[in-house]
Amino acid sequence: MQFFTSLVLSAMFMATASALPGSVALRAAAQQPAAVPALHEWGKTAITAVFTATSTAALNDAYELYWADDVSIVLNGVAISAKEYADRLSAQGFNGTSTIQFTASFDQPTVANSTQAGLVSLFFTTAAPGTPPVVSTMNLIIRPDPFAKNADTRRVYFIDQVAAAKV
């Protein structure tokens, strides 16, 4: 029997200085175990937040989503890089007080032990000073970190694919 767990995330981001001019640097990626150097290669940008379960599954773990600069995002039918997308968000006023909310669905009752990929829709709410908020949508397909141990409370989910995006 397949279980369906809906998780709702509401995260406040902290923008930090970026090594790439003009790009958005979200909360710095947590240091990964030296035994898994491949995790570093996936990208230096991470989203750190807390999932809160809306079902009977009691989940209150910290998760991180990583994407690499070479991940393509389909924006209005045109593929662009994650860095370019971040630059566009930055131009719209995305900053440390911006809020991102999304709902994630998985086919396992316990996300920590799940090997299933999940579709995540991110809703970016950005507002430059003196302008109305702008809501952007980006659909992501993510998968659990295969190196995470069951006892861990922190999980890393890699963004395998960006299904669609629009600003």
| Percentage of the chain modeled with pLDDT above 90 | 0
Domain ranges of the chain: 5-166
**Integer CA distances (angstroms), 104 to 101, 146, 148, 161, in order:** 10, 19, 19, 15
- Residue-averaged pLDDT of the chain: 40
Condensed to tens digits (0 to 9), the pLDDT of residues 13-37 reads: 222 222 333 223 322 233 333 333 2
Higher-confidence position of 28 and 80: 80
Condensed to tens digits (0 to 9), the pLDDT of residues 97-122 reads: 333 333 333 333 333 333 444 444 44
Q: Between β-strands 62-67 and 78-81, what pairing exists: parallel, antiparallel or unpaired?
A: unpaired
Task: Please name which of 74, 26, 24, 70 lies closest in space to residue 47, comparing C-alpha atoms.
Answer: 26
